[in-house]
Structure 1
């Protein structure tokens, strides 16, 4: 029987910044395409879901060979992504109603998960299911911030962050877990190209909720696995990240 991976992606394409400004965003081409392509090559089926059931927007800044081995891989993955996203896109609430059909959940990065996924109640339900089942839960780059949906009042937590307050997470599923996410030094570099400062940094948001955030060097591949949770730091982590996810799907033990 074919194993099925739930891929949760953002519906949004405008990241709110301080002072009411926004920055165009979406998913990163390689952060979705490289893991997704490898998973399909290994025989896994993909079910794509977004909160609105719309086609997820791509961050056009990621459509460059700079995030791939060469132009040939860039073209191959771009074609694969276009074909994949031309198929059915499910509403996240519908996917969340039948989670037993899935063997893992995967969230690609780009800044978009910081918009609505980190407060999405349906995503909170999804994360709780995979947490309770001990099934692979894999998030790369900015996507680990969406883990914050798995608490009692994720919307209030996000609002506190946006207001520059120090939030208090309640009932957070991943309290004490080790993870990585796009680092603050990396984010500060990206921020220089924005119209205004970020409202908050992902690493700070996860640490405030009780996670043990472990970052590697800037723009170096870095993956952390703790129990069912697999996280990758940045776009350069795509290959190492999907290798870790495949290992978890095949039952490999977590490294001590």
Structure 2
């Protein structure tokens, strides 16, 4: 009963506790200046909570993350569905997809800056570009995973293409799409912060870079900002996971997860 209620939450936080303990012990080592102590970092984090620039940086990063994820999801899921339903299209885009999905986003960052400048549009475009390809592939696999017998049975009883798509194809592919969105969300946040670190502008990445360049007494602030990125990522992952489980509670995959928990 307790397991059904609390799941594996204590176990999930055990690793975090161990890492914090190691950090606390390591910070007590004398003549160690590259990594601030855990208490100093926590103090810096609480100090940042009262700074409007801190919340503004989080807001800028989240804005880029959200818009990029929406654009990348719309493009990637749409192309994945079309390619999954059409063999000719799947084969025609196979080579471009394999090419683009292997390009590190940092490699096209100079081109993005040259064409779009260093503003929000550049960051959103590059992040959306990066998340499109894994979403496309995941959606394609989801559509292709449908049992042909189910599709043929729907066609044999006179179900039209549109109804077949919404009643057979989309429900069957939805767990694949949901997993793709969850992975793409984490990827989008990482890439957003990396672009902010390199290209500047505004956001958590810029604040981390500024603190790193200041050095000295600003190191606890830098680590506090790094902790912030992790906490933001955990919060977003938790929200997306909760929405995913709520929307797909009807699916057998998610029912089995709830029973196992």
Shorter-normalised TM range: under 0.3
Q: Name the larger-Rg structure.
A: 2
The normalised TM-score by structure 1 is 0.23
- TM-score of the superposition, structure 2-length normalised? 0.23
* Higher normalized contact order (CA 8 Å, seq sep 6+, divided by chain length): 2
Return the structure number with greater strand share.
1
Q: Which has the higher helix share?
A: 2
